[in-house]
């Protein structure tokens, strides 16, 4: 199902801007990206052949601080997707009130088709191509789909070769190179914290609550591990090739072991296979889409059978699906709150890099949790203050206001 992510984001933005009564020109200024860079990336493959890839870095807004956001390596990456994701970063950093703007980057590629050396080469070429617009105080990349700490290390190394030792150019680095304790698990842990607070609001006991997670990458697997430790029952998880289901709850530590040994979540005695479409429609307390955007859409929203959706992925619910879920009284905890744990810890990583002074894990996790919980209640207070206001629109209203005020105070509208 083809979804235009940028159109979906525009719809979300427009609803909040209308609710705020935002001036039309100011709204246009805040809605569209400040700067878009599209780059050609030649790669000489190991067999000597030439292959050319397309990459992007889009800076949406920097009024509240340097642009911040991940780098995605995926065949679905195109300019509209990166535009939408860059905007979501602006409103995510504003919502959780960290001094950053928003950006996103990506390469249109299936990284499994490259060897590790080719991937390193391509990453370094990409860093050189976008180096005119990134910087420790201008734009700081991070991991996203199919990128990891190793790729961040190559970025840090490539940039540092021309700018001197610059750990603050990128976050999500290995700890040995200036990464932060707690960064790897931060997004999944943050999703679990958002779910925990949402459960409190709806009086759903966490102990034994049933959870379905679509996607078992960094976000989904850390959410599964954390929620399992909270006493939730993870009844189904999936990856791109399909899902697994056990109504009594999957033994997540055992699944992790199986994944480590076999390289896959499938083919174990822990659960039965289930296809990805049926997985989304399972009866459960919480559904966590933690993979691609646009997976809950008008064709399947009606079949959802959960009490709440917690958005681990960016942009998993289309505006039409949002309307269906609203009508079905299924609240959605939006991406810009639910998956903000990652960028919050990225912020602490950057601060540690600037200070050249490193903190203990407990300090980082306590600070992250407080930021996320405070932002959750700010969002829910606004959402509950008015009838017909979703969590998403409330979250956008708070963050649009913050960005608007920074833009205005900096004199960009006069
Ligand atoms: N890619 C993550 C996100 O979408 C993290 C971004 C960051 O840490 O800068 O929030």
**Distance between CA atoms of residues 238 and 264, nearest Å:** 10
* Same-domain pairing of 91 and 218: no
Each residue's pLDDT tens digit, 218-255:
999 999 999 999 999 999 999 999 999 999 999 999 99
* Same-domain pairing of 190 and 155: no
Looking at the predicted structure, is the pLDDT value of residue 368 above 90? yes
Pocket test for ligand 1, best of 103, 144, 335 (most atoms within 8 A of CB): 144
Provide the number of structural domains found in the chain. Answer: 2
Domain-embedded: residue 377: no
Domain-embedded: residue 59: yes
Instruction: Please report the atom of ligand 1 found closest to the CA of residue 314.
Output: 4
Instruction: Please report the atom of ligand 1 found closest to the CA of residue 69.
Output: 9
* Same-domain pairing of 130 and 261: no
- What positions carry a catalytic annotation? 104
Instruction: Please report the atom of ligand 1 found closest to the CA of residue 340.
Output: 10
Mean pLDDT of 318-339: 98
Each residue's pLDDT tens digit, 377-410:
999 999 999 988 999 999 999 999 999 999 999 9
Mean pLDDT of 281-310: 97
* Same-domain pairing of 145 and 265: no
Question: What's the 103 CA to ligand 1 centre distance in angstroms?
Answer: 9
Pocket test for ligand 1, best of 72, 147, 342 (most atoms within 8 A of CB): 342
Tell which of 311, 333, 355 closes a domain.
333
Looking at the predicted structure, is the pLDDT value of residue 1 above 90? no
* Same-domain pairing of 305 and 223: yes
Each residue's pLDDT tens digit, 66-109:
999 999 999 999 999 999 999 999 999 999 999 999 999 999 99
Instruction: Please report the atom of ligand 1 found closest to the CA of residue 143.
Output: 1
* Same-domain pairing of 309 and 190: yes
Question: What's the 144 CA to ligand 1 centre distance in angstroms?
Answer: 6
Domain-embedded: residue 297: yes
Mean pLDDT of 367-386: 97
Tell which of 283, 307, 333 closes a domain.
333
Instruction: Please report the atom of ligand 1 found closest to the CA of residue 145.
Output: 1
Domain-embedded: residue 366: no
Closest CA to 317 of 337, 339, 332: 332
Residue where the block lists tokens 């890839």: 53
Give pTM, 2 decimals: 0.97
**Distance between CA atoms of residues 93 and 91, nearest Å:** 6
Three-class DSSP labels, the chain:
CCCCHHHHHHHHHHHHHHHHCCCHHHHHHHHCCCEEEEEEEEEECCCCCEEEEEEEEEEEECCCCCEECCEEEECCCCHHHHHHHHHHHHHHHHHCCCCCCEEEEEEECCHHHCCHHHHHHHHHHHHHHHCCCCECCCEECCECCCCCHHHHHHHHHHHHHHHCCCHHHCCCCCHHHCCCCCHHHHHHHHHHHHHHHHHHHCCCCCCCCEEEEECCCHHHHHHHHHHHHCCCEEEEEEECCEEEECCCCCCHHHHHHHHHHHCCCCCCCCCEEECHHHHHCCEEEEEEECCCCCCECCCCHHHCEEEEEECCCCCCECHHHHHHHHHCCCCEECHHHHCCHHHHHHHHHHHHHHHCCCCCHHHHHHHHHHHHHHHHHHHHHHHHHCCCCCHHHHHHHHHHHHHHHHHHHCCCCC
With 0-12 / 13-18 / 19 or more C-beta atoms within 10 angstroms meaning exposed / middle / buried, residue 46 is: exposed
Domain-embedded: residue 62: yes
Q: Which residue owns the Cα nearest ligand 1 atom 10?
A: 343
Looking at the predicted structure, is the pLDDT value of residue 128 above 70? yes
With 0-12 / 13-18 / 19 or more C-beta atoms within 10 angstroms meaning exposed / middle / buried, residue 268 is: middle
Mean pLDDT of 292-305: 96
Give me the CATH number covering residue 222.
3.40.50.720
Q: Which residue owns the Cα nearest ligand 1 atom 9?
A: 69
Pocket test for ligand 1, best of 70, 73, 172, 186 (most atoms within 8 A of CB): 70
pLDDT of 387 reads 87
CA geometry: angle 185, 13, 347, nearest 5 deg: 30
Start-to-end C-alpha separation, the chain: 43
CB count within 10 Å of CB 195 equals 27
Question: What's the 56 CA to ligand 1 centre distance in angstroms?
Answer: 16
Give me the CATH number covering residue 145.
3.40.50.10860
Question: What's the 307 CA to ligand 1 centre distance in angstroms?
Answer: 27
pLDDT of 414 reads 85
pLDDT of 58 reads 98
| Domain boundaries, position 138 | 31-167
Question: What's the 145 CA to ligand 1 centre distance in angstroms?
Answer: 10
Mean pLDDT of 171-197: 98
* Same-domain pairing of 249 and 146: no
pLDDT of 2 reads 55
* Same-domain pairing of 134 and 239: no
Looking at the predicted structure, is the pLDDT value of residue 7 above 90? yes
pLDDT of 310 reads 98
Tell which of 333, 366, 398 closes a domain.
333
Domain-embedded: residue 363: no
Each residue's pLDDT tens digit, 204-225:
999 999 999 999 999 999 999 9
Q: Which residue owns the Cα nearest ligand 1 atom 8?
A: 343
Domain-embedded: residue 172: no
* Same-domain pairing of 206 and 327: yes
* Same-domain pairing of 56 and 154: yes
Question: What's the 380 CA to ligand 1 centre distance in angstroms?
Answer: 23
Q: Which residue owns the Cα nearest ligand 1 atom 5?
A: 343
Give percent of the chain above pLDDT 90.
Answer: 98
* Same-domain pairing of 218 and 287: yes
Give percent of the chain above pLDDT 70.
Answer: 99
CB 409 within 8 A of CB 227: no
* Same-domain pairing of 158 and 192: no
- Provide residues with CB under 6 Å of ligand 1: 68-70, 142, 144, 171, 314, 339, 342-343, 346
Domain-embedded: residue 144: yes
* Mean pLDDT score across all residues of the chain: 97
Question: What's the 211 CA to ligand 1 centre distance in angstroms?
Answer: 24
Mean pLDDT of 109-136: 98
């Amino acid at each position: 199902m083809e979804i235009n992510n940028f159109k979906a984001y525009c719809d979300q933005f427009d609803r909040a801007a209308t609710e705020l009564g935002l001036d039309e020109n100011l709204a246009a200024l805040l809605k569209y990206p400040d700067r878009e860079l599209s780059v050609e990336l030649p790669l000489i493959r190991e067999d000597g052949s030439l292959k050319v890839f397309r990459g992007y870095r889009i800076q949406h807004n920097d009024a509240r601080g340097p642009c911040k956001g991940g780098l995605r390596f995926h065949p679905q990456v195109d300019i509209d997707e990166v535009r939408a994701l860059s905007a979501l970063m602006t409103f995510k950093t504003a919502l959780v009130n960290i001094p950053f703007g928003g950006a996103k980057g990506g390469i249109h590629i299936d990284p499994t088709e490259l060897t590790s050396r080719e991937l390193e080469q391509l990453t370094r070429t990409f860093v050189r191509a976008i180096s005119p617009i990134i910087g420790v105080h201008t734009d700081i990349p991070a991991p996203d789909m199919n990128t990891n700490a190793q790729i961040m290390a190559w970025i840090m190394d490539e940039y540092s070769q021309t700018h001197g030792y610059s750990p603050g150019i990128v976050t999500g680095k290995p700890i040995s190179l200036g990464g932060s304790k707690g960064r790897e698990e931060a997004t999944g842990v943050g999703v679990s914290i958002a779910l925990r607070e949402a459960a409190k609001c709806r009086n759903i006991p966490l102990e034994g609550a049933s959870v379905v997670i679509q996607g078992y990458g960094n976000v989904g697997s850390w959410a599964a591990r954390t929620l399992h430790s909270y006493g939730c029952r993870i009844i189904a998880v999936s990856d791109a090739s399909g899902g697994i289901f056990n109504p009594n709850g999957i033994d997540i530590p055992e699944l992790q072991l199986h994944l480590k040994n076999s390289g896959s979540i499938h083919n174990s005695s822990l659960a039965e296979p289930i296809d990805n479409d049926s997985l989304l429609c399972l009866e459960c307390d919480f559904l966590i889409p933690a993979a691609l955007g646009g997976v809950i859409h008008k064709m399947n929203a009606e079949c959802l059978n959960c009490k709440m959706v917690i958005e681990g992925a960016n942009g998993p619910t289309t505006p039409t699906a949002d309307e269906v879920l609203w009508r079905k009284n299924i609240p959605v905890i939006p991406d810009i709150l639910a998956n903000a744990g990652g960028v919050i810890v990225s912020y602490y990583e950057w601060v540690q890099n600037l200070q050249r002074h490193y903190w203990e894990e407990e300090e980082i996790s306590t600070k992250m949790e407080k930021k996320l919980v405070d932002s959750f209640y700010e969002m829910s207070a606004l959402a509950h203050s008015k009838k017909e206001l979703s969590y998403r629109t409330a979250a956008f209203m708070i963050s649009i206001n913050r960005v608007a005020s920074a833009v205005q105070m900096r004199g960009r509208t006069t």
